Amino acid sequence: MAATRKDAAKLDAVDPLAQFRGEFDLPAGVIYLDGNSLGPPPRRALARLQQTADIEWRAGLIRSWNDAGWFDMPKRAGDKIARLIGANTGEVIVADSVSVNLFKIASALIARRRAPVLAVDADEFPTDGYILEGLAGLAGARLVRLKTPAIPSGVDVLVRSLVSYRSGAVADMRAVEKEASAKGAEVIWDLSHATGLINVDLRRNGARFAVGCGYKFLNGGPGAPAFAYIAREAAATLSQPLSGWMGHASPFDFSTDYRPAPDAARFASGTPPVLSLSALDAALDLFEGVAPPTLEAKARALGDLFLDICEPLGLETISPPAGMRRGGQIAFVHENGFPIMQALIARGVIGDFRAPNLMRFGFSPLFLSYSDVFEAAEAFAEVLKSEAWRAPEYARRGAVT
C-alpha cells in the first residue's frame, strides 16, 4: 500500500536533518526538486555575498586579499570539500570549472605518453566527452566512447561519473579503480552529482583524481567554482598545462620561472572569483558536523518515498529501484516529458527535463522534507491524470530546458 501524508509526517518528525530546512531561502509555495542541477541559496551564502561586496570589496578594497582571507579561500574551501569526499587536507583545490579542471588533469596524465588513449562512457555527461574530444585532437590521442562498464586494455585515462546524471546510478568506485590499476589506466572521477549527497571515500577506495562542481548539492550558487582532487603522492609527479601564477609555489615572488606548488594547489591557474567563491565557502559551512552517510540515507529515503507514491502511475524509470543505492535523482521516461514537467513547474513543483525523454526529480536532503516529497508526487500524479500538460503553453521551449 502506498505511503500516506501521515506516513510522511511521521518521517519528518524523526528526521535528523530537519533543522537545516530553515537555513535555505526558498520561495513560498515552491517544492524544489531540482537541487541536482542548481542548489537553492543558503541564507548564510547570501549574507556572505553581501558582506564580501559591501564591506570587503567596497571598504577593504585590495587589502581584503589579506585582511578578509581572499587569497587562501580556494584552499580553505578545498579542505571543507575534502572532508565530504574522503580526501586529506591539501588534496582539494577550488578553482575554475569542471571542464577546465578535467582538461588540466587529463592533460597532465597523458603528457609523457605516446599515442595515448582516452576513454569516457558513451552516456556520460556531455561536457566530459567534449573535453576529452578536444584534448584528443590537441594531443594526438585516441578517444574511445565506452558502451559497457568494462575498461578495455590499452586505455590510459578513463573519465567516469560516480553518480550518473541521467539515472542516479552509483558506480562501484573501488571495483573500477581495481580494474583500472590492473590494466594500467588512471581514472578521473566526476563527482558533480555526488559531492554533498552520498558517502564518497576517495582515499579508501584508491581514487587518485577527481573533479566536481560547486553549484549542485553543495549549494554554492549559479556558476560557483568547481574543485579538483589530486592525491598528494600523485600531485608531486604531475605538471599541469595551465601553469598560471596562482598555481606557483610563491606567486608573489614574481619569478620569471614557474615553480609549482607542492600539492593540489598546483592545479590552480588564475585569480579566484572571490564573489562566487565566498558564497560557496559559506555554503560549505552548512556541512560542518554532518556525516555524509546521513545525507545519503535521507536522499535515498526521499527518493524511495517518491517511487512508492508514483508506482501506481505505471511510468518507466531508468533509476535504481527503492531499496537500492542511488544518487540524488530519479528519472522517469515519457515521450511528452517536457510539457509534463512544465505543467508541474506551473503548479510550484520544480524538477527538470533532459532530452530526449527524461523527467528528473532531485532529492536534496538538507532542505527537503518527506511531506514536500509526498505533495510533489501527488501533484505529479494529478498533472498526468488530468492531462493538463497538453495545454499549448507547456510545449514552448526556452534556451535552457
The pLDDT tens digits for 274-316 are 999 999 999 999 999 999 999 999 999 999 999 999 999 999 9
Residue ranges of the alpha helices (H) in 285-394? 292-310, 337-346, 370-386
Which cell numbers in the block locate residue 216?
A: 549542485
Query: Taking the chain, what is the end-to-end CA distance rounded to the nearest angstrom?
Result: 35
- For residue 66, give the amino acid letter: N
Res 1 pLDDT > 70: no
Q: What is the pLDDT of residue 335?
A: 97
Question: At 88, is the secondary structure helix, strand, or coil?
Answer: coil
Q: Which of 217, 360, 372, 380 is catalytic?
A: 360
360 is catalytic: yes
Stretch 164-185: mean pLDDT: 98
Is there a contact between 264 and 240 (Cβ–Cβ < 8 Å)?
Answer: no
Give all domains of the chain, ordered by start, each with its CATH number.
5-41+290-395 (3.90.1150.10), 71-287 (3.40.640.10)
54 is catalytic: no
Q: What is the pLDDT of residue 370?
A: 98
Q: What is the pLDDT of residue 2?
A: 79
pTM: 0.97
Task: Tell how far CA 16 is from the center of its chain.
Answer: 23
Q: What is the pLDDT of residue 41?
A: 98
Q: Which of 44, 80, 208, 216 is catalytic?
A: 216
216 is catalytic: yes
Q: What is the pLDDT of residue 347?
A: 97
Stretch 158-184: mean pLDDT: 98
Res 62 pLDDT > 80: yes
Model confidence at 401, pLDDT cuts 50, 70, 90, reads: confident
Q: How many CB atoms neighbour CB 148 within 10 A?
A: 8
Per the omega criterion (within 30 degrees of 0), is the bond before 356 cis?
yes
Question: At 332, is the secondary structure helix, strand, or coil?
Answer: strand
* Nearest alpha carbon to residue 243 among 227, 233, 225, 255: 255
Q: Which residue has the cell 503553453?
A: 393
125 is catalytic: yes
Enumerate helices (H) and strands (E) in the chain, giving the number of each.
Answer: 12, 13
253 is catalytic: no
Please return the burial class of 310, using the count of CB atoms within 10 Å of its CB with bins 0-12, 13-18 and 19+.
buried
Q: What are 13-30's pLDDT values in tens digits?
A: 999 999 999 999 999 999
Q: What are 332-380's pLDDT values in tens digits?
A: 999 999 999 999 999 999 999 999 999 999 999 999 999 999 999 999 9
Is there a contact between 73 and 89 (Cβ–Cβ < 8 Å)?
Answer: no
Q: Which of 190, 263, 281, 304 is catalytic?
A: 190
How far apart are alpha carbons 234 and 109 in whole angstroms?
10
Q: Which of 24, 165, 209, 215 is catalytic?
A: 215
Q: Which of 24, 32, 103, 125 is catalytic?
A: 125
Q: What is the pLDDT of residue 386?
A: 97
Phi-psi region of 29 (alpha: psi -120 to 50; beta: other; left: phi over 0): left
DSSP 254: -
Q: What is the pLDDT of residue 113?
A: 87
DSSP states of 1-19: ----HHHHHHHHHT-TTGG
Stretch 104-131: mean pLDDT: 96
Q: What is the pLDDT of residue 334?
A: 98
Which residues, including other chains, have CB under 8 Å from residue 375's CB and lie 6 or more apart? 31, 349
For the chain, what is the mean pLDDT? 97
How far apart are alpha carbons 136 and 248 in whole angstroms?
27
